[in-house]
């Protein structure tokens, strides 16, 4: 990715974020993310770690079309380069079990950014939003990671299925918006987000029947230029 293009996208995101939301920490001074290498003590950034409470109309000009969901069996982590891999997350910074643990194992740098982001933002600000984490410059997989904040907590404190479903639609629309903004700021097609793959979000440790989550996703309106198809990859059929 050209340095000038990346810097331009970062400055644009920082400007937009500063207008949308004041920091709850007066001394919090986010710094631009570093993609070249993993910072062992990452600073939460409001540029690549962008989030806002989503309006259904934010993700582009409405077309009347809704998101198409297709399913197949296979290995989620064997996706082609530049694929965005999406999973549902809690708002407390933990990827300690289930599919989230697999994400932490495959993408430790992304986990550090997610964890730092959660530490810098209260759950009520994160719920119903998304986080787009670009791959590290030296990544071999070149996978983007997308986090959908669908539950405030995890384990016994996880949100009810109804609340999780309520947060899923806005979070997905927010992610589509972030993808559109990122791709618009990148000149090289080979550096943009390509396909979008996800697991059966919410159906694991959040205990939400997959058929209900799929219904919410398929009801998500997509705008002009938005990703229109999401591939759901699971190890087993049914």
On the question of pLDDT at 33 being above 50, the answer is: no
Is 208 within 8 Å of 91 (Cβ atoms)?
no
Over range 144-154, report the average pLDDT: 99
| Helix, strand, coil % in the chain, rounded to nearest 5 | 35, 20, 45
Q: Which H or E run includes 187?
A: none
Domains parsed from the chain with CATH numbers: 62-234 (3.40.220.10)
Question: What is the arithmetic mean of pLDDT over 25-30?
Answer: 43
Confidence of residue 64 (pLDDT cuts 50, 70, 90): low
Q: How far apart are CA 222 and CA 37, in angstroms?
A: 34
pTM above 0.85, yes or no: no
User: Which of 73, 79, 126 is CA-nearest to residue 107?
Assistant: 79
Nearest to 99 by CA among 91, 90, 128: 90
Residues 170-212 pLDDT 10s: 999 999 999 999 999 998 888 999 999 999 999 999 999 999 9
Instruction: Please tell me the predicted confidence (pLDDT) of residue 20.
Output: 43
84, two tokens? 């965005």
Q: What is the pLDDT of residue 224?
A: 73
Which pLDDT belongs to residue 13?
Answer: 52
Least Cα distance to 226 among 159, 185, 173 occurs for: 173
Give the per-residue pLDDT at 222.
Answer: 86
pLDDT bin (cut points 50, 70, 90) of residue 169 is very high
Is the pLDDT at 138 greater than 80? The verdict is yes
CA angle 63, 212, 73 (to 5 degrees): 90
Cα first-last separation, the chain: 40
Mean pLDDT of the 159-168 span = 98
Is it the case that residue 225 has pLDDT exceeding 70? Answer: yes
């Amino acid at each position: 990715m050209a340095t000038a293009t990346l810097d331009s996208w970062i400055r644009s995101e920082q400007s937009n974020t500063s207008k949308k939301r004041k920091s709850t920490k007066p001394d919090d001074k986010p710094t631009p993310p570093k993609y070249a290498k993993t910072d062992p003590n990452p600073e939460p950034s409001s540029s690549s770690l962008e989030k806002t409470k989503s309006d259904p109309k934010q993700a582009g000009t409405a077309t009347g079309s809704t998101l198409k969901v297709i399913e197949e069996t296979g290995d989620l982590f064997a996706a082609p380069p530049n694929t965005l891999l999406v999973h549902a997350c809690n708002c407390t910074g933990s990827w300690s079990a289930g599919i989230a643990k697999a994400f932490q194992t495959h993408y430790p740098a992304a986990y550090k950014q997610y964890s730092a982001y959660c530490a810098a933002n209260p759950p009520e600000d994160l719920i119903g939003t998304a986080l787009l984490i670009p791959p590290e410059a030296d990544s071999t997989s070149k996978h983007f990671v997308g986090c959908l904040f669908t539950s405030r907590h995890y384990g016994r404190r996880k949100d009810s299925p109804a609340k999780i479903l309520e947060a899923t639609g806005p979070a997905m629309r927010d992610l589509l918006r972030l993808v559109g903004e990122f791709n618009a700021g990148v000149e090289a097609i080979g550096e943009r987000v390509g396909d979008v793959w996800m697991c059966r979000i919410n159906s694991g440790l959040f205990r939400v029947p997959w058929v209900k989550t799929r219904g919410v996703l398929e009801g998500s309106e997509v705008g002009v230029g938005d990703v229109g198809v999401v591939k759901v990859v699971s190890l087993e059929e049914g």
